[in-house]
Amino acid sequence: TNRQDERGSKQRLLVVANRLPVSAVRDGVESYHLEISVGGLVSALLGKKNEGCMKLVVSVEGVKEFDARWIGWAGVNVPDDVGRRALTKALAEMRCIPVFLDEEIVNQYYNGYCNNILWPLFHYLGLPQEDRLATTRTFQSQFDAYKKANQIFADVVNMHYEEGDVVWCHDYHLMFLPKCLKERNDKMKVGWFLHTPFPSSEIHRTLPSRSELLRSVLEADLVGFHTYDYARHFVSACTRILGLEGTPDGVEDRGKLTRVAAFPIGIDSERFIQALELPEVQAHMKELKERFAGRKVMLGVDRLDMIKGIPQKILAFEKFLEENSHWRDKVVLLQIAVPTRKDVPDYQRLASQVHEIVGRINGRFGTLTAVPLHHLDRSLDFHELCALYAVTDVALVTSLRDGMNLVSYEFVACQASKKGVLILSEFAGAAQSLGAGAILVNPWNITEVAASIGYALDMPADEREKRHQFNFRHVKTHTSQEWAATFVSELNDTIVEAQLRTRQ
């Protein structure tokens, strides 16, 4: 088959993402210890409890037949060769290959262009306003750094590439990578997948580098998104901005087709379902049940990010308490918000804004013995998280925009016995898949969210059961393993079809 080379060995898969699934932390000149990083892609491909990351990638079913390696930045500045060699060696054991970026590039490329420009823009938050006039220069230098970083990634990929390998590029950090790779080797099989939304072409066209990025992505053989809407937005951007032709299969440019399709991600649902049986998870559950006895538990789990709609969520909770005094001592909202991108000023502002609202709500509705809102600024370990999902009555996922949102899937996976209610933003990709079982809300409409909280808390058992079953079936069958396997096999097929077309 096309997955086997002549030697009959497995096809190699190079997964390229901005971050490796591990972060390197420096202990001394030549020594590093490695920590597993939190994030959507990491959770999808690796699961959470990682003894050795590559072991887990290889164990991904469907990808099992691939010999996989992960290429990315280790999240640490390593200026010296000795350190670089030491880190490369430590990572090699996990089949991870580091890309080294110096501090200035990281600042301009990662904090600047990726997190301050592309991330907000793709989530409909617009381009940065305050420095817009001054940005022609900054913008250009950040975009230059972005391209330079993508070139560095391409060099590393190229160095490790062997004929027949499949290269799977991930996310908005690496939109320039398909072009850089094809320039180095036009025979390389390249796929690119976006984990965020792709916005309406009217939003994308505000980006000064709009055409260059689109043209680069189109160099890939297969371009994937979480939903049909995102794929459609991308195709429209290519037709309206570049004047190319959109077809049912993708985008065509002078006879060359780039395939564009939707590949909704999922989670490793079995890991969550099985974890609930573990004694330590059961112990956490018992503890939580005792702690919140007599109260309904509501839960939010998010990275602390503008797109997650955390202030809007807790304002809706405040409104609910205001209007429903009989619930005040019978419900508690646990909001777990792990801080990320602490170097970007907008994220620092968001943290203080959230703290202020939390303080106000607890001041207004707390008693000497209990507060209605617990806000934790930290990440939870896998077992704590599973226990929390399992004891929750109502989960609140109110992202203003979200590519998919895996927290909603994880919650559903852990609710087989409780059959709690999911309140879900219609602007999360997950609304397309879990919409029938969840209560869908517009997160900007605080009145509507507050009313949904009341509806969810009072929902009769038979309705909860029906809604849960629908979502549970979906989460169980649409797994991360299946997602990865489908993408890679589609990429292989796309290339075979293209070869057949050129031969005709």
**Could you tell me the strand order of the sheet in which 256-262 lies?**
96-99, 66-73, 11-19, 166-170, 189-193, 222-225, 256-262, 250-253, 245-247
Nearer to ligand ADQ, 165 or 402 (CB): 402
- Asked if residue 405 binds ligand ADQ (CB under 6 A), the reply is yes
Structure tokens that stand for 269 in this block: 């649902």
Q: Is the CB of residue 105 less than 8 Å from the CB of residue 55?
A: no
Nearer to ligand ADQ, 38 or 315 (CB): 38
Q: Are 207 and 127 in contact (CB under 8 A)?
A: yes
Number of chain positions touching ligand ADQ (CB under 6 A): 24
Task: Using the minimum distance from each CB to ligand ADQ, give the nearer residue, 219 or 305.
Answer: 305
Paired sense of beta strands 222-225 and 331-339, if any:
unpaired
Q: By CB under 6 A, name the one of 338, 416, 440, 498 that touches ligand ADQ.
A: 338
85-144 binders of ligand ADQ (CB under 6 A): none
Binding of ligand ADQ by 38 (CB under 6 A):
yes
Q: How many Å separate Cα 354 from the centre of its chain?
A: 22
The H-or-E segment that residue 398 falls in is none
Give the separation between CA 401 and CA 206, rounded to whole angstroms.
Answer: 18
41 binds ligand ADQ (CB under 6 A): yes
**Least distance (Å) from ligand ADQ to the CB of residue 215?**
24
Binding mask 188-227 for ligand ADQ (x = CB under 6 A): -------xx-------------------------------
Nearer to ligand ADQ, 12 or 383 (CB): 383
Applying CB under 6 A, among 101, 157, 238, 385 the residue interacting with ligand ADQ is 385
Residue 25 CA to residue 77 CA, distance in Å, equals 10
CA atoms within 13 A on the CB side of 472: 17
Q: Closer CB to ligand ADQ, residue 223 or residue 321? A: 223
Q: Of 139 and 234, which has the nearer Cβ to ligand ADQ?
A: 234
Buried/exposed code over 418-437 (b: 16+ C-beta within 10 A; e: otherwise):
ebbbbbbbebbbbbebbeeb
Q: Which stretch binds ligand ADQ (CB under 6 A): 9-17, 38-46, 275-283, 415-423?
A: 38-46
For residue 315, state whether it binds ligand ADQ (rule: CB under 6 A).
Answer: no
| Under 8 Å between Cβ of 338 and 379 | yes
Among 20, 301, 431, 456, binds ligand ADQ (CB under 6 A): 301
Q: Which of 360, 361, 359, 339 is nearest to 350 (CA)?
A: 339
Q: Of residues 17, 21, 36, 39, which one binds ligand ADQ by CB under 6 A?
A: 39
Query: What gap in Å lies between CA 202 and CA 392, rounded to an integer?
Result: 39
Q: What is the DSSP letter of 402?
A: B
Instruction: For residue 345, give every residue at least 6 positions away whose Cβ sits within 8 Å of its Cβ, in sequence order, or none.
Output: none
Q: Is 241 in the site for ligand ADQ (CB under 6 A)?
A: no
Task: Establish if 386 lies at the interface with ligand ADQ (CB under 6 A).
Answer: no
Is residue 72 a contact point for ligand ADQ (CB under 6 A)?
no
Residue 129's nearest CA partner among 144, 141, 117 is 117
The answer to whether 487 and 220 have CB atoms below 8 angstroms apart is: no
268 counts as binding ligand ADQ under rule CB under 6 A: no
Per-residue contact string for residues 431-470; x = within reach of ligand ADQ by CB under 6 A? ----------------------------------------
Contact by Cβ (8 Å): 312, 407: no
Q: Which of 107, 379, 432, 442 binds ligand ADQ (CB under 6 A)?
A: 379
Smallest separation, CB 441 to ligand ADQ (Å): 17
- Match 């990929």 to its residue by tokens: 157
Q: What is the rounded CA–CA span in Å between residue 447 and residue 452? A: 9
Least distance in Å: CB of 302 to ligand ADQ?
Answer: 6
Told to check if 396 binds ligand ADQ by CB under 6 A, we report no
Q: Indicate the residue among 380 and 416 with the shorter CB distance to ligand ADQ.
A: 380
Amino acid letter, residue 352 = S
> Residue 189 contacts by C-beta under 8 Å, 6 or more apart in sequence?
165, 166, 167, 221, 491, 492, 495
Q: Checking phi first, is residue 16 left (phi over 0); if not, alpha (psi -120 to 50) or beta?
A: beta
User: Judged by CB under 6 A, does residue 486 bind ligand ADQ?
Assistant: no
Question: Which of 16, 20, 22, 44 is the binder for ligand ADQ (CB under 6 A)?
Answer: 44
Single out the residue of 76, 242, 380, 440 in contact with ligand ADQ (rule: CB under 6 A). 380
Q: Kindly state whether residue 406 participates in binding ligand ADQ, applying the rule CB under 6 A.
A: yes
> Which residues here bind ligand ADQ, judged by CB under 6 A?
38-41, 43-44, 195-196, 265, 301-303, 336, 338, 379-380, 385, 402-407, 410
